[in-house]
Amino acid sequence: MGTAKRSTKKQQASTTGRLPDPGTIRRHVEDAYATCRDDHGGQVADYIPGLAQTPADLFGICFAAVDGQVYEQGDVEVPFSIQSISKPFVYALVCEAVGHTEARERLGVNGTGLPFDSVMAVELHEERTMNPLVNAGAIATTSLVPGDTVEDKWQLVLRGLSRFAGRDLELDEEILASESESNRRNRGIAHLLRGYDQLYFDPDGTTEVYTRQCSIAVTVHDLAIMAATLADGGVNPVTGERVVDAGTSRRVLAVMATAGMYERSGDWLYEVGLPGKSGVSGGIVTVSPGKGGLGTFSPPLDDAGNSVRGQRATRELSERLGLNLFASGEPIVDGDMDDPR
């Protein structure tokens, strides 16, 4: 009896334990929103001209538990382009199509230590693509999406990401037009990879599909459901549909943990202790395996390209809700965030 009691307590406190009760989750989501709302650090991305006009004060947080319950606060229904957050989900679709072993062999799963759109990373590493979450690997991933034409591949991506979100997603045409005008660097990376025989479809066609996938419009609510699908081993907790298998889900999370937050992926894992992926439009998805998915949206970014308010809110919720994969102590419910256990 004594042992059983001790192990129950331990289970609640550990990463494999349960989430707090719904009232507590709601309170922490509201608190994280209130605490981070007045942080005015960071700059809205402008290298894609269409992003530069996004209001800097937009801020939304949504946590979707694997039981399908949703807790949200702020601008949760404002659409924005998914950008790099599409990358892990397209990688998941490719793992389903070619198997995670072949996907890893062709694309790699290690960090580059270089910026996400680095051409030097392709030249420096003999493998050419290092992982599916920086542009070279992500563009190569898109080239592996099944389909003989741009349209076939695009439909598979759009339908696949829609299944993760549990609704029919659409393109943000304005962002697509703006990014298509300014994506010469990505086109260059696609041609360079083709030159190394590491791209598996026509370079311009691949760049077209890649640019469209980055221009899919999502809300922070969608991001939370997409993340919760990975948290639930590939099953969308709202629609109940299996989108990818559990083995794929697990590998996608591993890649997110090592390379999801640009050159700050190590810092992120150190502080937040969860797989995450951010995008230049200001979104972040974070996955707590077996527990739920967190989406945040706030456009101002730090110099690595990660949303300032989003990182802060996620760090806070990881501690308060006991999500950190590496924590062995009880969650910090009201304690000092600067001294996490």
Given candidates 36, 169, 214, 284, which one binds ligand GLU under the rule CB under 6 A?
A: 214
**Taking Cα atoms as reference points, which of 235, 245, 328, 322 lies closest to residue 20?**
322
175 binds ligand GLU (CB under 6 A): no
Cα separation, 177 vs 164, in Å, equals 25
118 binds ligand GLU (CB under 6 A): no
Give least dist CB 215 to ligand GLU, A: 8
Give least dist CB 291 to ligand GLU, A: 26
Contact mark string toward ligand GLU, 322..341, x via CB under 6 A:
--------------------
133 binds ligand GLU (CB under 6 A): no
Given candidates 71, 76, 106, 117, which one binds ligand GLU under the rule CB under 6 A?
A: 117
Which 42-81 positions form the footprint of ligand GLU (CB under 6 A)? none
> Sheet holding 292-297: strands in order across?
70-74, 60-65, 292-297, 283-288, 276-278
Structure tokens at 50: 């269409």
311 binds ligand GLU (CB under 6 A): no
- Phi, psi for residue 62 in degrees, rounded to 5: -140, 130
Cα separation, 207 vs 189, in Å, equals 9
User: Residues near 220 by Cβ (< 8 Å), separated by ≥ 6?
Assistant: 60, 61, 62, 72, 74, 75, 76, 78, 283, 295, 296, 297
Compute how many residues bind ligand GLU; rule: CB under 6 A: 11
91 binds ligand GLU (CB under 6 A): no
Given candidates 33, 80, 116, 201, which one binds ligand GLU under the rule CB under 6 A?
A: 116
Name the residue nearer to ligand GLU (CB basis): 266 or 335.
266
Which 183-212 positions form the footprint of ligand GLU (CB under 6 A)? 186
Under a CB-based contact definition with an 8 Å cutoff, are residues 182 and 51 in contact? no
Cα separation, 229 vs 85, in Å, equals 14
Cα separation, 25 vs 162, in Å, equals 27
Structure tokens at 211: 């640019």
| Residues linked to residue 139 through DSSP beta bridges, in sequence order | none
Name the residue nearer to ligand GLU (CB basis): 71 or 116.
116
Contact mark string toward ligand GLU, 248..287, x via CB under 6 A:
-------------------------------xx-------
Enumerate binding residues for ligand GLU (CB under 6 A): 83-84, 116-117, 135, 179, 186, 214, 279-280, 305
